[in-house]
Amino acid sequence: MRIPLRQTTITTSADDAAATVFGITADVLIPGRGDPIKHGAVVVKDGTIEWVGSKNDIPSECYSDLKFSHHVPVLMPGMWDVHTHFAGSGVVTAGIQDSMRLFLPGSAALVGAVTVDDLRRTLMSGFTSIRELGGYAGDVSPAVEKGVIVGPNIYSALAILSITGGHGDTHGAPLQTVLDTCCPSGGGSAMGMVCDGVEGCTKAVRQVIRRGAKVIKICSTGGVLSMNDQPEDSQFSPAELRAIVEEAARSGRVVASHAIGKNGILAALDAGVKSIEHGMYLDEEVATKMKEKNAILVPTRHIVEGLAAGAEDLDPKSRAKMLRMLELSRSSLKLAIKLGVKIALGTDTFSSDRTHIIAHGTNAKELHWAVEAGMTPLQAIEMATATPPETLGSMAKKAGQLKVGYDADIIAISANPVEDIEVLTKPDNITHVWKGGKLFKSP
């Protein structure tokens, strides 16, 4: 079945493209990890990459009937954003600091409706997979998997685990309201979940996994947009952090920690979290520990620059915190690149307001900031493709590289991003998007 959706023809039926073999050729093929290949080709069978290399080397004896469906200037793996939130901000709520309306009956339907188009925009901008660190995309992901709606592969934490009064709590709401809506006995509609003590933290991990979480999101420090804490505050005790990481591991999940202040970063790393989100106070000691632990930095430069550019919209307390973080965020990424810390693309993209600087679909701006901080374009592409699945431990599918046996999540681009990384930041330049071998976008 073919459904016309705006300018794009999209196949949504799970039966389409099943048991098919096709090839795509490109002037330049960027594998995600490793050097680009001139005059490259990929062969896709049943949604998986079966062969990749230089077009001249295709074993013709194996592919006598091979059809090349497309020739494009540049091919690369679909990109990943490992730090997103889908909650209808700017439509359902007035903005990022107005989460109260999410507690009202009926808001879930509106969030879901808005999220459908946000997910489509994300896929059309070249992002074939997202990790959602708190939000509602995880709740609608069965509809994407069934082909009912169009979107990237979704790996969601669903609710953010936070201490009472921590970054993931809603400080402006009565505590009982937060508890009633975030826990399974309540509506289960909040994207924040308050838990305290080893027992409470262990139970909270079990509850989000029960709801379908593929990764566990916690806050080991305070934040910029929460009312009554500071980014330098440490949140959760070492024993609570250990309990969360160990309970997650029993179900094959890794933990991502919102961590800005140095003590909260170090405590999270000691407990064994897989990724440090934001990481503004990264210094040489933190970088060394991250490398020892094989942890990954998710710098979220896009939201920091975006919020700083619109700082007048924030309340005075948050504005002061934001401006304090700006320079730290710039220098920590520069240092992390210099010291060889592993980095994955994550933006903190959250806005459903189409005019907002960090609206869904603007995710590739993170590559711009990475190159500005010292990465080569090829390193930035690896940050956007091959490295991100590692932030999910064993929960990620084989994807993020043009490599034999990997999912055929592939994008075509009108010009070479190795020569100019800005090419990726304009969705119009992403001419084709295949997800699992199915074509979702073409001119």
In the complex, the residues that contact Zn ion under the rule CB under 5 A are: 348
Q: How far is the CB of 358 from Zn ion (least distance, A)?
A: 11
Nearer to Zn ion by C-beta: 278 or 330? 278
Cβ(307)–Cβ(314) below 8 Å: yes
Pairing of strands 255-259, 127-132: unpaired
Nearer to Zn ion by C-beta: 36 or 135? 135
The residue ranges of DSSP E strands in 37-159, in sequence order, are: 37-45, 48-54, 68-77, 79-89, 127-132, 153-156
Nearer to Zn ion by C-beta: 348 or 390? 348
Cβ(110)–Cβ(136) below 8 Å: no
Distance CA 122, CA 184 (A): 30
Q: How far is the CB of 125 from Zn ion (least distance, A)?
A: 19
Burial class of residue 19, CB neighbours in 10 A (0-12, 13-18, 19+): exposed
The one catalytic residue among 217, 274, 321, 438: 217
| Cα-Cα end-to-end distance for the chain | 19
Query: What residue type is assigned to position 434 of the chain?
Result: W
The one catalytic residue among 348, 407, 438, 441: 348
Pairing of strands 438-441, 430-435: antiparallel
* H/E segment holding residue 104: none
Q: How far is the CB of 343 from Zn ion (least distance, A)?
A: 16
Distance CA 88, CA 86 (A): 6
Task: Characterize 214-234 residue by residue with b for buried, 16 or more Cβ atoms within 10 angstroms of its Cβ, and e for exposed.
Answer: bbbbbbbbbbbbbeebbbbbb
Q: How far is the CB of 83 from Zn ion (least distance, A)?
A: 6
Q: How far is the CB of 284 from Zn ion (least distance, A)?
A: 26
The phi and psi torsions of 250 (rounded to 5 degrees) equal: -60, -25
3-class secondary-structure state, position 90: coil
Burial class of residue 396, CB neighbours in 10 A (0-12, 13-18, 19+): buried
Q: How far is the CB of 131 from Zn ion (least distance, A)?
A: 11
Closest residue by Cα to residue 388 from 328, 334, 347 = 347
> Which residue number places its CB atom closest to Zn ion?
348
Closest residue by Cα to residue 309 from 267, 271, 264, 365 = 365
Nearer to Zn ion by C-beta: 133 or 381? 133
Distance CA 392, CA 344 (A): 11
Nearer to Zn ion by C-beta: 348 or 382? 348
Q: Is 435 a catalytic residue?
A: no
Nearer to Zn ion by C-beta: 132 or 407? 132
Nearer to Zn ion by C-beta: 53 or 134? 134
Q: How far is the CB of 133 from Zn ion (least distance, A)?
A: 5
Query: What residue type is assigned to position 288 of the chain?
Result: T
Q: Which residues pair with 351 in a beta bridge?
A: 89, 359
Q: How far is the CB of 54 from Zn ion (least distance, A)?
A: 41
Nearer to Zn ion by C-beta: 118 or 348? 348
Nearer to Zn ion by C-beta: 78 or 192? 192
Q: How far is CA 392 from the centre of its chain?
A: 10
C-alpha radius of gyration, the chain, whole number: 21
Q: How far is the CB of 115 from Zn ion (least distance, A)?
A: 16
Q: At 71, list the tokens.
A: 């020739």
Q: Is 334 a catalytic residue?
A: no
3-class secondary-structure state, position 291: helix
Distance CA 216, CA 258 (A): 11
The catalytic residues are 217, 348
